[in-house]
Amino acid sequence: QKEVEQDPGPLSVPEGAIVSLNCTYSNSAFQYFMWYRQYSRKGPELLMYTYSSGNKEDGRFTAQVDKSSKYISLFIRDSQPSDSATYLCAMSAIGGEYGNKLVFGAGTILRVKS
Amino acid sequence: NAGVTQTPKFRVLKTGQSMTLLCAQDMNHEYMYWYRQDPGMGLRLIHYSVGEGTTAKGEVPDGYNVSRLKKQNFLLGLESAAPSQTSVYFCASSYSTGYRDTGELFFGEGSRLTVL
């Protein structure tokens, strides 16, 4: 079983829809949670970062972390064709074998149709 | 603003050949990383460096070697390429531990390697 599970999609939605992207994880030591966005043929770019549990909002994007369920989500409101990309969740812990390592999900391909 | 630059962007090798991927960053970052990205597998850490002259193994280090002779450069070497090393390779850098402070790794655009 992978440490971080993420549905690879593809997820196809109409423009203006609310998108929900999710990851589950197995290691309760993870405390830092990130979402990266990767356009085709490009490197990933940081989209959202949260520490521990709770919500964080940035414009049309909201990141949620539920540590009790080991579940993180990224919501995109009023989705646009320019949001079409692969979204990768990533997480890390402090120290131990994870001292300097991020663990990534497989990535979800999102397509927003105009 | 160059950021993180990887060369070459594409390469085709025959089994057993060797090659080196070069990563250069102009942000004065301490930490540098090499990842590989395969369908359905996400990004997996190969090797990383916490400063000039240091290297450490990541999740999938076998078959690869690295060097960090200069702070701005991080080289990934394949001594004897195998078809299983066909992948897209990404270099990344961060100011400190990066992801602990802001979550931000800065990635290059990737190097696509095919081993026949």
Integer Cα distance of A45 and A59 in angstroms? 17
Q: Is the pLDDT of residue B88 over 70?
A: yes
Average pLDDT over residues B49-78: 95
How much is the pLDDT for A7? 85
Of A66, A82, A42, the residue nearest A74 (C-alpha):
A66
pLDDT in tens, A16-55: 999 999 999 998 888 889 999 999 999 999 999 888 888 9
Nearest to A49 among B56, B102, B108 (CB): B102
Q: Is the pLDDT of residue B42 over 90?
A: no
How much is the pLDDT for A41? 93
pLDDT above 90: percentage of residues in chain A: 73
CB < 8 Å to B45, chain A: 101-102
CB < 8 Å to A90, chain B: 43, 99, 103
Question: Which one of A102-106, B47-51, B81-85, B102-106 scores highest in mean pLDDT?
Answer: B81-85
Phi and psi at B98, nearest 5°, equal: 60, -80
How much is the pLDDT for A95? 61
Look up residue B66 and give its two tokens.
């690295």
Integer Cα distance of A58 and A69 in angstroms? 23
Q: Is the pLDDT of residue B2 over 80?
A: no
Q: How confident is the model at residue A9 (pLDDT cuts 50, 70, 90)?
A: confident
**Which residues does B95 contact at the CB level (< 8 Å), separation at least 6?**
B27, B29, B30, B31, B101
How much is the pLDDT for B11? 97
Mean pLDDT of all residues belonging to chain B? 91
Residue with more model confidence, A30 or A60:
A60
Nearest residue in A to B3, CA atom: A43
How much is the pLDDT for A102? 84
How much is the pLDDT for A97? 54
Helix, strand, or coil here: A26?
coil
pLDDT in tens, A70-94: 999 999 999 999 999 999 999 987 6
Integer Cα distance of A25 and B21 in angstroms? 32
Q: Within 13 Å and on the Cβ side, how many CA atoms surround B85?
A: 29
**Which residues does B65 contact at the CB level (< 8 Å), separation at least 6?**
B47, B76, B77, B79
- Residues 43-72 on B with a CB inside 8 Å of A are 43-45, 48, 50, 56, 58-59
> Chain A contact for B19, CB < 8 A?
no
CB atoms within 10 A of CB B94: 24
How much is the pLDDT for A108? 96
How much is the pLDDT for B54? 92
Q: Is the pLDDT of residue A106 over 70?
A: yes
CB < 8 Å to A45, chain B: 107
Integer Cα distance of B44 and B62 in angstroms? 12
How much is the pLDDT for B39? 87
